[in-house]
Amino acid sequence: MEDKNNNTYSVQFVFFIILLNLLLSSSVLALEIEAAYGKRQGEITFQIGGQITLDSGETGRLRFPLSELRFATNTSIINFQLSHLFNNNWLASASASKNITLNSGEMKDSDWGINYYFLNREAFPRDSLDIYSESRLTLDAVDLKLELQKKLTTELLSYWNVFIGGGILFQRYQFKAFDTVQSYPSTPEKPADILTGKTITYRYEARMPFASVMLTRNFNPKIAITFAIAYSPWLKVTDHDNHILRKKISTGNSDGWGTTLNASLNYLLQKSTSVFASVVYLKTVANGIQTQKFSANEEISTAEIGLRNTNEQKIIMIGISHSF
C-alpha cells in the first residue's frame, strides 16, 4: 500500500512540474489572470457505524450511521487563477481559493442507538436519536487545482470550442467547534448540557485526480459562456477528528468518487479586460475505515469502524480577468 501511495504522489508531482513549465513557458501565446470574490454554501459530513473491530479482536455490527457530524462550510472566499493557451491547442491552468471569513455556521452532531447498544435494548429502539448537539464553528479552508486540456477540432459542435483533459484538486479544511449545546431527544426529561470553549477539531483533506470536458462559445465579440464538467473515481480522503472533552482522537482513510459542474458568463469590457460571473457545484463521496483511540485512566484503547465522508458545496463568484 505504501509503494502504491508513493507511486501516486510521484505521478502527481510529475504532472505538477509539467504543468508549471507550460504555465511559465516563453512559447505561450496567451496568458490570462483572474481574480474573483465568492460565496460558498455547503457542508462536509462524516458518518461512522457498521462493522466495528475492537483492539481485543472482537468484532460486531452497529447501526449505520451510529454517529454523524455535519460541518457547515458557509464562508466568503477569494479565488485566483492563472491560465495559458499555447500552440492555440493546449490550455493549462492553476487556481487557488481561500476563505476570508472564519465563521462558517454550525456543527451538528447526532448519535443514534446509544441507549440501545449501551444501556437497555428493551427500553430503547435502535434508531432513536439519543444525543444531539449544535456548536459554533470556524473554518480555515484552502482549495488548489491544476488542469491541462487539449482543444478538439470537431464538426459536431461547430459553434463551440471543445476542450478535454484532466487535472487534480487538493482540498484542506480545518474546523474548530466551540460553545456546544448538547440535548437528549430520546430522554427529554434530561436537561441539556452547555459546554463552553473548544470541544471538537476536525481536519479534512482530499486529493482528487479528475478527467474533464469544457465547452465555450462566443455569442458576439463581447459575450461568451462556458460549461465544464469533471469526474473522478480516484478520490482519496484523510481526516482527523479530536473530541477534546471525551479524549478521543479518530483518523480516517477513505476512497471514493467526486464531480464538479461549472457554468460561467463572460463580458468583455475592453480589448484585454473582462468581467465574469460563475456558479460551481461540487460533490464527493468516500467510504473507508476510521481508527479511534480512547484515553482513560492513563490507558489507551483502540477500535476500527466503518466511515463515510461526503462533501457538497455550491459556490457563486464574480470576478475580473485580464489577458496579456
Q: Would you say residue 2 has pLDDT above 80?
A: no
What are the domain boundaries of the chain?
Answer: 2-323
Average pLDDT score over residue span 260-272: 95
**Which residue would you say has higher pLDDT here, 198 or 1?**
198
Average pLDDT score over residue span 241-254: 92
Full-model pTM? 0.89
pLDDT band for 14, please (50, 70, 90 cuts). Answer: low
Quick one: pLDDT at residue 1? 45
Written as one letter, the residue type at 231 is: Y
Q: Would you say residue 157 has pLDDT above 90?
A: no
Residues 6+ away with beta carbon under 8 Å from 24: none
Chain mean pLDDT for the chain: 90
Quick one: pLDDT at residue 121? 86
Quick one: pLDDT at residue 104? 98
| Whole-angstrom distance, CA of residue 185 vs CA of residue 189 | 9
Quick one: pLDDT at residue 24? 53
| Nearest alpha carbon to residue 242 among 233, 234, 251 | 251
Q: Would you say residue 158 has pLDDT above 80?
A: no
Tell me how long the chain is: 324
Exposed (0-12), middle (13-18) or buried (19+): which is 38, by Cβ within 10 Å? buried
- Asked if 202 contacts 240 with a C-beta cutoff of 8 angstroms, the reply is yes
CATH of 2-323, one of 3.40.630.30, 3.30.565.10, 3.40.50.1360, 2.40.128.90: 2.40.128.90
Q: Would you say residue 15 has pLDDT above 60?
A: no
Quick one: pLDDT at residue 111? 97
Quick count: other Cβ atoms within 10 Å of Cβ 245? Answer: 12
pLDDT band for 296, please (50, 70, 90 cuts). Answer: low
Q: Would you say residue 89 has pLDDT above 90?
A: no
Q: Would you say residue 46 has pLDDT above 70?
A: yes
Q: Would you say residue 220 has pLDDT above 50?
A: yes
**What are the angstrom distances between the C-alpha of 224 and each of 87, 154, 163, 215?**
21, 19, 15, 11
pLDDT band for 279, please (50, 70, 90 cuts). Answer: very high
Q: What is the pLDDT of residues 72-87, one digit of tens each?
A: 999 999 999 999 988 8
Quick one: pLDDT at residue 188? 92
Q: Would you say residue 126 has pLDDT above 60?
A: yes
| Whole-angstrom distance, CA of residue 135 vs CA of residue 202 | 13
All three cell numbers of 169: 484538486
Q: Would you say residue 252 has pLDDT above 70?
A: yes
Quick one: pLDDT at residue 123? 85
Q: What is the 3-state secondary structure (H, E, C) of the chain?
A: CHHHHHHHHHHHHHHHHHHHHHHHCCCCCEEEEEEEEEEEEEEEEEEEEEEEEECCCCEEECCCCCEEEEEECCEEEEEEEEEEEECCCEEEEEEEEEECCCEEEEEEEEEECHHHHHCCCCCCCCCCEEEEEEEEEEEEEEEEEEEEEEEECCCCCCCCEEEEEEEEEEEEEEEEEEEEEEECCCCCCCCCEEEEEEEEEEEEEEEEEEEEEEEEEECCCCEEEEEEEEEEEEEEEEEEEEECCCCEEEEEEEEEEEEEEEEEEEEEEECCEEEEEEEEEEEEEEEEEEEEEEEECCEEEEEEEEEEEEEEEEEEEEEEEEEC
